[in-house]
A and B are shown apart, each in its own frame.
Chain A
Amino acid sequence: MRRNQVAVVGAAETTELGVIPNASQLQLHADAALNAIADAGLKLSDIDGFATAVETPQQVCHYLGIKPTWVDGTSVGGCSFMLHVRHAAAAIEAGLCKTVLITHAESGKSMIGKLPRSTPPDSLNGQFEAPYGVYGPPSMFPIPVLRFMKTYSITHEQLASVAVVQREWAAKNPRAMMKDPITVADVFNSRMIAYPFRLLQCCLVTDGGGALILTSADRAKDFPRKPVYVMGTGESVETPMVSQMETFNSSRAFKTAGPLAFKEAGIAHGDIDHLMIYDAFAHLPLFGLGDLGFMPHEETGQFIAEGNTRPGGKLPLNTNGGGLSYMHSGMYGMYALQESVRQMRGIAPAQVPNARISVCHGVGGMFAASGTIVFTNER
């Protein structure tokens, strides 16, 4: 894909985030979509391309009254929306559609109109993982981390500092779910969920949604908001079974998607002003920093513990507070994208001064999938 040919011209989250007991999951899709449409100054009838995950495109398009000529139902977990951005950019460049709406919403906390996630007993996960007591992401996602820690001499204190630093960002964000400052001791005193991870190292469980609108860069200049250009994109998948990753010392999907996006964008690590790494659990930013090539994995824990990613640090990371403190409805990738767009528009609550390039890196499942988007506000 050629860089900067497609831009985000509409971006919004649901009117409320957190606990939303008065709306179904489908209505949260609509709420986010209507907010994004208003943000872009468009009408629903202007949308000719549509993408979503978990819910089907037909479900959401019918509910909203959209008649698309291009749809994408890629559903690979929380990074599905990074893949949608990549696919939408390719579709717009190919002339398959002009204006794409991407929606995410999840009634993750209130569970209204949310399909249950199930593991059939004759699936590979059902036969070779479920019988050993895995039960939801907290029991699965952290399984690689002890090996990662041993290989790279990462400490428990360093992994606790991920949550501490992100809470500093969340404190600056009025819409963050958790804003009170925490210490490493607070992390160690929070209740054990799945050793080595305690409550404060696990993502929140909330309700909410978000939507993006993309169009060609040539059309983007006529929209009310500052365009945010799609500079580079990458994607990959590895395995739905965390036990079957090639190694627990890195994520193959991360190592594929990230460098693809950087190469397409034509950027080096030193060009990046702002970074989002999907943090469902505290080890993900460490995997991300290493696998995306910012530094050797050995240095990632120390890098965060020393404050390099905190407000005022040299690599601002997860500036909304992340899945650990901002919100996490189940598929957090959309909120990471929203924060990248806000930073590129210059309107984020914890704005990084003069940020020109933002990298937004997502994970799907338990290291099962990955998508990376490089944004810029300069064409």
Chain B
Amino acid sequence: MAEPQRARPKPTPETQHFWDGTKAGELRLQRCDACAHVYFPPRPFCPSCASRKVSIFKASGKGFLYSYVINHRPAAPGFTPPYAIAVVELDEGPRMMSNIIDCPQTPEALELDMKLEVAFQALDDKITLPVFRPAKG
């Protein structure tokens, strides 16, 4: 029997641009053309001022570690515990959940406010996840 797989996102019309972006190696956010609010998760209007005039742009991919847990049990299918589930605050403002790679999954290594940069992890030929690693330099 096949190992249970990690949960895979299924894009909707409103989020397709985000997943097209990660597949192309870009972290895409949206900015309101009317009030300049930058937001996530994707939607075709501004959650701050309700304008439908919004633009998609490539984010810097830089941010910092806002908070996390190191999950021991129960582990999600496709994960080997212990593993960190992190929330990253992006330099553009929005926060997103992610995982931290190239870093021991320990409280000592995972320091709050540490600088992070985006990396991309392909799950299959359709879906690539944005994950983060400690920023270089």
Contact = CB atoms under 8 A, between A and B. Distances in A.
The B contact surface, by secondary structure, is loop
Contacts of B77: 135
B95 A135 contact: no
A144 B40 CA distance: 18
Interface stretch (B23-31, B48-56, B61-69): B61-69
A244 B15 CA distance: 16
Contact of B11 (A122, A131, A139, A143): A122
Given A121-B7, A124-B41, A244-B41, A143 B87 contact: yes
A129 interface: yes
Q: Which of A119, A134, A146, A150 has the most CB of B within 10 A?
A: A146
B119 interface: no
B72 interface: yes
Contacts of B8: 121, 131
Interface string B65-104: 0111111111111110011011100000001111100000
Contacts of A193: 72-73
A308 interface: no
Contact of A133 (B79, B107, B112): B79
Contact of B95 (A133, A146, A244): A244
A378 to B, nearest CB: 43
A192 interface: yes
Size band of the interface chain B makes with A: 35 or more
A243 interface: yes
A194 interface: yes
With most chain B CB atoms within 10 A of its CB, the pick from A131, A136, A248 is A131
B72 A131 contact: no
Given A128-B96, A129-B97, A131-B8, A195 B82 contact: yes
Contacts of A122: 9-12
Interface residues of A, number: 37
B129 interface: yes
B67 A144 contact: yes
A248 B88 CA distance: 12
B10 A127 contact: yes
B136 interface: no
Interface in A143-196: 143-147, 150, 191-196
A127 B74 contact: no
Contacts of B66: 147, 248
Interface centre among A133, A191, A192 (most CB of B within 10 A): A133
Contact of A194 (B19, B69, B98, B107): B69
Interface of B: 6-12, 15, 19, 40-41, 66-79, 82-83, 85-87, 95-99, 107, 112, 123, 129
Interface of A: 119-122, 124, 126-136, 138-140, 142-147, 150, 191-197, 241, 243-244, 248
13 contacts: A121-B8, A122-B11, A127-B9, A127-B12, A131-B129, A133-B75, A135-B71, A138-B73, A139-B69, A139-B76, A243-B87, A243-B96, A243-B97
Given A127-B12, A143-B67, 20 more contacts: A119-B7, A120-B10, A127-B10, A127-B11, A128-B96, A130-B9, A130-B76, A131-B8, A132-B97, A132-B99, A133-B71, A133-B75, A138-B71, A143-B85, A145-B69, A147-B112, A192-B82, A196-B69, A243-B87, A244-B41
9 tightest A-B CB contacts, nearest first: A135-B76, A147-B67, A127-B9, A195-B70, A130-B7, A243-B97, A122-B10, A121-B10, A194-B69
